[in-house]
Amino acid sequence: MTEGARFARPAGSEHDIGMTTVDEVQRRGAFSSRKVFILAAIGSAVGLGNIWRFPYVAYENGGGAFLIPYLVALLTAGIPFLLMDYAIGHKHRGSAPLSFARLRRGTEFLGWWQVGICFLIAVYYAAVIAWALRYTVFSVDEAWGDDPEGFLFGEFLQAGDPGISSDVVAGVLLPLALVWLAVLVVMALGVEKGIGRLSLFFIPVLVVAFGALVVRAVTLDGAVVGLDAFFSPSWDALTEPGVWAAAFGQIFFSLSIGFGIMITYASYVDRRSDMPGAGLVVGFANSGFELLAGIGVFAALGFMAQAQGVAVDQVATEGLGLAFVVFPALISEAPAGALIGVLFFGSLVIAGLTSLISVIEVVISAVRDKFEMSRIAASMAVGVPATVISLALFSTTSGVYVLDIVDHFINRYGILLVAVVSMLVVAWVLRELPGLAAHLNRTGSLPLGRIWFALIAVVAPVALAYVLIDELFTDIEEPYGGYPDWMLGVLGWGSTAVVLLFGVLATLVRWRSETPLVEPYDVIEEEVR
């Protein structure tokens, strides 16, 4: 019998013990199998950062030697923290706010803080996907000509001086509207038919498309030069605290942990699933894809450096610059460049879309739980305002600046801060780690005990707090990006303060009487008791 077929059994039969119940599936939705959950979780973790951030971070922080702090960070902070998220969501069967409320009423604000962060991320993340969508088409005829940077900021984004503008750019507005339309349809279809089926289809497509890109990149002239630059170790780097901080930061941002996504997804998983085992698969799949991205990106950069007669460090960069300036230049120079372009930007679109739906699901799931709304109503209640805000802020000539500032601040003083606070609260204030470990050990293949407690209570928060404090000092010493103070104040510090305030205020809304905040959460557990 397939795992999905189990859901069809009537509630109350002995064989339902420990499984997701029919009532629960109908009320909240659920993944039909462990495989679907794992693919959805991989889809969430593998995003734009895997492709355009990891390769440069590794190159800048010791090259091949970066593997050591990276693996240490994965095993001592990334996967342990991922398992804490899984445990909270899987045990308490709710969105981030509901799960935290069930953990202890006073911690509900942590869940709403995560919801606010996810809403903000979703509205700008969609814009980057829209750009990638447009560049997939641009790749066919290399629309950027011989000046990719001038094309990006001039003809395409029409960016003027930093500030806030209401001048709409039709070339961004239309693909952005298309992205949101796709997201709304997927979200309205629900957990299994929407998120599950999208992941089942897109993750294999992403692996094949990006795999094809890597094969093409490593067969270009000069690819070896790029790979040599990427993997050559600088062992001295291992003595620098900044390199270790970069490794922990990369793992943390890459795994989609600490801001509600994995809590939400885990709440949709069958009660008998081996969550620690699934966590190992997701963690290694995410890092495995990052390695693949590093090979593909640096092989391509090696070709470009050789073609231009410069060193690899002259062309190596990250983020928007890598995707929308360096890669277009590379596409123009490489044989069969259009193919590389379609594969590269198509991969960005797929990776971005599967991450975006996981981010917006955090918000939709929370709204559904709080107001007991239908799937479609909650999707519209969240998706329509998100679409309007996204179009208003990011389809204008100032969109790129707003995006850059909000992204910088919400990543550090939103995601990172809430992650550190939630770990400390769960480990030291609530002292809930033994209970969460017992829950995962019930069906898990990886026994969690004192080592896991130490990693969650000490190692991970200390490492991430170091990253956070280091970033804070950097931002205080040197205002980010050279933007005007008012922009950094309003869009940067302001947006991080607003999501925190939202987290506190949202807890004032009472839960519906039909939403139990104490166990048993459904009829099956009650019958067993």
Partner 1 sequence: MSADAVILMLVAMAILWGGLVLAIVRLNRHDLPPIDELHRDL
Q: Would you say 111 and 96 are in contact if contact means Cβ atoms under 8 Å apart?
A: yes
- Interface positions, 8-67, toward partner 1 (CB under 8 A): 14-15, 17-18, 34, 63-65, 67
Instruction: Give the list of residues 6+ apart from residue 505 with CB closer than 8 angstroms, or none.
Output: none
Q: How far apart are CA 354 and CA 441, in angstroms?
A: 29
Structure tokens at 313: 């460090």
Check residue 433 for interaction with partner 1 (CB under 8 A). Answer: no
Check residue 518 for interaction with partner 1 (CB under 8 A). Answer: no
The minimum distance between CB 403 and partner 1, in angstroms, equals 31
Region of residue 448 (phi > 0: left; psi between -120 and 50: alpha; otherwise: beta): beta
The minimum distance between CB 247 and partner 1, in angstroms, equals 13
Check residue 224 for interaction with partner 1 (CB under 8 A). Answer: yes
The minimum distance between CB 295 and partner 1, in angstroms, equals 8
- Interface positions, 196-215, toward partner 1 (CB under 8 A): none
Q: How far apart are CA 108 and CA 511, in angstroms?
A: 11
Q: Please, how many CA atoms are within 13 Å of residue 517, restricted to the half-sphere of its CB? A: 16
Check residue 284 for interaction with partner 1 (CB under 8 A). Answer: yes
The minimum distance between CB 3 and partner 1, in angstroms, equals 10
Check residue 529 for interaction with partner 1 (CB under 8 A). Answer: yes
Member of 4, 60, 71, 174 binding partner 1 (CB under 8 A) = 71
The minimum distance between CB 229 and partner 1, in angstroms, equals 8
Nearer to partner 1, 27 or 272 (CB): 272
Q: Would you say 97 and 366 are in contact if contact means Cβ atoms under 8 Å apart?
A: yes
Q: How far apart are CA 86 and CA 40, in angstroms?
A: 14
Q: Would you say 45 and 282 are in contact if contact means Cβ atoms under 8 Å apart?
A: yes
The minimum distance between CB 283 and partner 1, in angstroms, equals 8
Q: How far apart are CA 332 and CA 340, in angstroms?
A: 10
Return the C-alpha torsion angle 317, 323, 326, 330, nearest 10: 130
The minimum distance between CB 62 and partner 1, in angstroms, equals 10
Member of 165, 317, 443, 515 binding partner 1 (CB under 8 A) = 443
Tell me whether residue 381 is exposed, middle or buried, using C-beta atoms within 10 angstroms of its C-beta: 0 to 12, 13 to 18, 19 or more: middle
Structure tokens at 282: 């997701």
Check residue 146 for interaction with partner 1 (CB under 8 A). Answer: no
Check residue 317 for interaction with partner 1 (CB under 8 A). Answer: no
The minimum distance between CB 516 and partner 1, in angstroms, equals 16
The minimum distance between CB 363 and partner 1, in angstroms, equals 30
Nearer to partner 1, 270 or 471 (CB): 270
How far is C-alpha 464 from the geometric centre of its chain's CA atoms?
17
Member of 191, 198, 214, 227 binding partner 1 (CB under 8 A) = 227
Query: Residue 233 pairs with which residues in a beta bridge?
Result: 63
Binding mask 241-280 for partner 1 (x = CB under 8 A): -------------------------------x-x--xx-x
Q: Residue 83: name the closest of 436, 409, 385 by CA.
A: 436
Place of tokens 């801060």: 417
Q: Residue 340: name the closest of 380, 366, 304 by CA.
A: 304
Nearer to partner 1, 230 or 327 (CB): 230
Q: Report CA Rg, the chain.
A: 23
The minimum distance between CB 65 and partner 1, in angstroms, equals 8
Nearer to partner 1, 287 or 411 (CB): 287
Check residue 171 for interaction with partner 1 (CB under 8 A). Answer: no
The minimum distance between CB 438 and partner 1, in angstroms, equals 8
- Count of residues of this chain found to bind partner 1 when the rule CB under 8 A is applied: 37
Residues in the chain: 529
Check residue 510 for interaction with partner 1 (CB under 8 A). Answer: no
Place of tokens 């139990």: 516
Long-range contacts (CB closer than 8 Å, 24 or more residues apart) made by 175-178: 175/130, 175/131, 175/133, 175/134, 176/126, 176/127, 176/130, 176/390, 176/391, 176/394, 176/395, 177/387, 177/391, 178/130, 178/133
The minimum distance between CB 280 and partner 1, in angstroms, equals 4
Member of 60, 142, 149, 228 binding partner 1 (CB under 8 A) = 228
Member of 26, 140, 205, 232 binding partner 1 (CB under 8 A) = 232
Structure tokens at 65: 């030697």
Applying CB under 8 A, which part among 86-94, 197-205, 230-238, 487-495 lies near partner 1?
230-238
Structure tokens at 259: 């801001």
Nearer to partner 1, 34 or 375 (CB): 34
Q: Which residues bind partner 1 (CB under 8 A)?
A: 14-15, 17-18, 34, 63-65, 67, 71, 224, 227-228, 230-233, 272, 274, 277-278, 280-281, 283-285, 287-288, 290-291, 295, 442-443, 445, 525, 528-529
